[in-house]
Chains A and B, each alone.
Chain A
């Protein structure tokens, strides 16, 4: 389980319930102020994304609210109607960039989190299954993992989207196909160690069914590395989605993520209208860096030996 120095406590065994374990993780996590700030920042980003329809000054998808005469206004300009200020400027169609970014952030995070969760489910299941069954099952699954990982993620995703076409669900599917292998490899590595342990042998001897051994006994004990990898993989998924959308093969124009917003503003950059691309880029960057730093800290907390 969590590989931490033992806390001196008489009732150690009794208090070592999951809540207590999480409290210990948090106590270690606090050790790095930067990581705490990043976690808070990540929380703010999540809240902003979740509440985007409520807090954004304008509904960027409602064409009735847009006025093409207000297009390409620099940041800080007041709307001609006088009821709002375009803090981050407007795009070519007169859309408030702040609203567009908040909604784009929502889509980017949605795609990243959903694909990561699905990829963990698929990858961890296959990885645990491979480790537990061994033999031919294992070699087939792991050969597939090797094959998958020998091709760069962007290429596999590009191939899938070239066949399926644009769309949020297609992007999510592509990301799952790209990412499951990493989780499968991690899960198998951990499970190989765990499945040799006595409690698994005991469960096996008691005639516990295979799916129950894998999900109730093996999985909880392999969660730590999966959580650490998963955090960083969400950032990678968001980056990949943004890249695909920037290339014009990701999300559709009707549901622009941060990547697509950056792509849309790209041509205006040469005319000095930097805000169309720059601000969505900053939003994307802050999100990715925050997730990565939180993930790094989690790795250090869970695995104190690997800090080198």
Chain B
């Protein structure tokens, strides 16, 4: 088990190393850093000075190692726009994104599980069929389109909820949060719902499939034969058994929620990492772009590692297969 985890950890580190190479090549070979650093009307002497100052005349591998060295020390350059260390700019935006992503996940669970339970328990009722058709739409509708519709309906036409920003925030643990104030919550509602839509469909389908699988099992029949109340059978015997895969998938999907928050944050002007990266790409703020990409790679590699670990701990079959290999 420990050796398996060790090899998995080494693999994760290799992926991160590979990503630094890809990001480095992307920034320095595909894109031209000189073109960004130097105004087009600069003289040849000025050009040379900047090139030397940034070490761009050195061989590529030497530049890569100084880049890698910077990454390992948390030094990813200074943002051209904010004139602060790029990593710090990203980290300042992290809580807003995490708040949005966590809220979206919560919404997906709170709405998705009951709908999935209903659709699983009464698969032939018209309402269940409606839910299933809705979930197909939830999968295929573009996130940004749904966001626009939400704004059009709830902000522009009905005027119920605000469409942009975080609203009033409260400081807690040195970070600002929206969910602690009423105004902040009203700002959080639409973006969270927008981001959650895809996941609601996913959770609902997972729960429904789980219920369909568990219901014909002997222990359910036995529980009913014992004369347990239907509520208890569903909440304890059915739900408890289907929640393990659901929880695992939800954990796995957290990364994709963070990725899709790029879209939601841009639509709702939510000041998180996703909006920051889009703004940075548009003004070519390369240090921030690099810092964001490295940050996202770390988040993903860690999530994938945790999910693998969770699978191994939860499912003996995976554990045995891993042991057989190593």
Q: Which residues of A contact B (CB under 8 A)?
A: 147, 150-152, 154-155, 158-165, 235, 239, 242-243, 246-249, 259, 262, 266, 269-270, 272, 274, 277-278, 281, 284-285, 288-289, 292
Extra A-B contacts (4), CB below 8 Å, given A154-B262, A165-B31: A249-B278, A278-B152, A285-B145, A292-B140
Contact present for A154 and B141 (CB under 8 Å): no
Contact present for B30 and A163 (CB under 8 Å): yes
A201 and B230 CA atoms in complex are apart in Å by 57
Residues of the A chain whose Cβ atoms lie less than 8 Å from the Cβ of B1: none
Instruction: Tell yes or no: B100 within 8 A of A by CB.
Output: no
Among B67-75, B110-118, B252-260, the stretch in contact with A: B252-260
A248 and B27 CA atoms in complex are apart in Å by 19
B149-169 vs A, Cβ < 8 Å mask (1 yes, 0 no): 101100110000001000000
> Assuming A154-B262, A162-B289, A163-B27, is B151 touching A269 (CB within 8 A)?
yes
Chain B, Cβ-Cβ closest to A150: B304
Instruction: Tell yes or no: B51 within 8 A of A by CB.
Output: no
Shortest beta-carbon distance, B226 to chain A, in Å? Answer: 30
| A243 touches which of B26, B155, B263 (Cβ 8 Å) | B263
Shortest beta-carbon distance, B206 to chain A, in Å? Answer: 15
Contact present for A266 and B259 (CB under 8 Å): no
Shortest beta-carbon distance, B283 to chain A, in Å? Answer: 11
Instruction: Tell yes or no: B188 within 8 A of A by CB.
Output: no
Q: Is the interface of A mostly helix, strand, loop or mixed?
A: helix
**B240-279: which residues lie under 8 A (CB-CB) from chain A?**
255-256, 259-260, 262-263, 266-267, 277-278
B3-45 vs A, Cβ < 8 Å mask (1 yes, 0 no): 0000000000001000000010011001100000000000000
> Assuming A164-B30, A292-B136, is B152 touching A246 (CB within 8 A)?
no
Residues of the A chain whose Cβ atoms lie less than 8 Å from the Cβ of B142: 239, 242-243, 284-285, 288
A112 and B26 CA atoms in complex are apart in Å by 24
Contact present for A154 and B259 (CB under 8 Å): yes
7 tightest A-B contacts by CB? Answer: A163-B26, A152-B259, A152-B256, A155-B259, A163-B30, A239-B142, A246-B144
Chain B, Cβ-Cβ closest to A239: B142
| A150 touches which of B144, B267, B300 (Cβ 8 Å) | B300
Residues of the A chain whose Cβ atoms lie less than 8 Å from the Cβ of B27: 163
Instruction: Tell yes or no: B79 within 8 A of A by CB.
Output: no
Contact present for B277 and A158 (CB under 8 Å): yes
Total residues of chain B contacting the partner, CB 8 A: 38
B284-326 vs A, Cβ < 8 Å mask (1 yes, 0 no): 0000010001001000100010000000000000000000000
Q: Is the interface of B mostly helix, strand, loop or mixed?
A: helix
Residues of the A chain whose Cβ atoms lie less than 8 Å from the Cβ of B266: 246-247
Instruction: Tell yes or no: B170 within 8 A of A by CB.
Output: no
Residues of the B chain whose Cβ atoms lie less than 8 Å from the Cβ of A243: 142-144, 263
A158 and B136 CA atoms in complex are apart in Å by 25
Residues of the B chain whose Cβ atoms lie less than 8 Å from the Cβ of A288: 140-142
Contact present for B278 and A248 (CB under 8 Å): yes
Instruction: Tell yes or no: B282 within 8 A of A by CB.
Output: yes
Contact present for B156 and A269 (CB under 8 Å): yes
A274 and B256 CA atoms in complex are apart in Å by 30
Contact present for A262 and B144 (CB under 8 Å): yes
> Assuming A147-B15, A269-B151, is B300 touching A247 (CB within 8 A)?
no
A249 and B260 CA atoms in complex are apart in Å by 15
Contact present for A154 and B140 (CB under 8 Å): no
A163 and B143 CA atoms in complex are apart in Å by 24
Residues of the A chain whose Cβ atoms lie less than 8 Å from the Cβ of B267: 266
Contact present for A262 and B148 (CB under 8 Å): yes
**B180-213: which residues lie under 8 A (CB-CB) from chain A?**
none
Residues of the B chain whose Cβ atoms lie less than 8 Å from the Cβ of A266: 148, 267
Instruction: Tell yes or no: B223 within 8 A of A by CB.
Output: no
A163 and B260 CA atoms in complex are apart in Å by 19
Residues of the A chain whose Cβ atoms lie less than 8 Å from the Cβ of B143: 243
Contact present for A159 and B304 (CB under 8 Å): no
Shortest beta-carbon distance, B248 to chain A, in Å? Answer: 15
Instruction: Tell yes or no: B281 within 8 A of A by CB.
Output: yes
Chain A, Cβ-Cβ closest to B286: A162
Shortest beta-carbon distance, B152 to chain A, in Å? Answer: 6
Contact present for A274 and B281 (CB under 8 Å): no
> Assuming A243-B142, A243-B143, is B263 touching A249 (CB within 8 A)?
no
Shortest beta-carbon distance, B77 to chain A, in Å? Answer: 15
Contact present for A151 and B140 (CB under 8 Å): no
Chain A, Cβ-Cβ closest to B255: A152
Contact present for A159 and B26 (CB under 8 Å): yes
Residues of the B chain whose Cβ atoms lie less than 8 Å from the Cβ of A152: 255-256, 259-260
A147 and B256 CA atoms in complex are apart in Å by 14
> Assuming A163-B27, A163-B30, A292-B140, is B148 touching A277 (CB within 8 A)?
yes
> Assuming A150-B304, A284-B145, is B262 touching A158 (CB within 8 A)?
yes
Contact present for A281 and B148 (CB under 8 Å): yes
A159 and B292 CA atoms in complex are apart in Å by 10
Residues of the B chain whose Cβ atoms lie less than 8 Å from the Cβ of A284: 142, 145
Residues of the A chain whose Cβ atoms lie less than 8 Å from the Cβ of B155: 270
Residues of the B chain whose Cβ atoms lie less than 8 Å from the Cβ of A160: 26
Chain B, Cβ-Cβ closest to A151: B300
Residues of the B chain whose Cβ atoms lie less than 8 Å from the Cβ of A163: 26-27, 30-31
Residues of the A chain whose Cβ atoms lie less than 8 Å from the Cβ of B15: 147
Residues of the B chain whose Cβ atoms lie less than 8 Å from the Cβ of A239: 140, 142
Chain A, Cβ-Cβ closest to B257: A152
Contact present for B145 and A281 (CB under 8 Å): yes
B27, B140, B262 interface centre (most CB from chain A within 10 Å): B140
Shortest beta-carbon distance, B14 to chain A, in Å? Answer: 10
Residues of the B chain whose Cβ atoms lie less than 8 Å from the Cβ of A164: 30-31
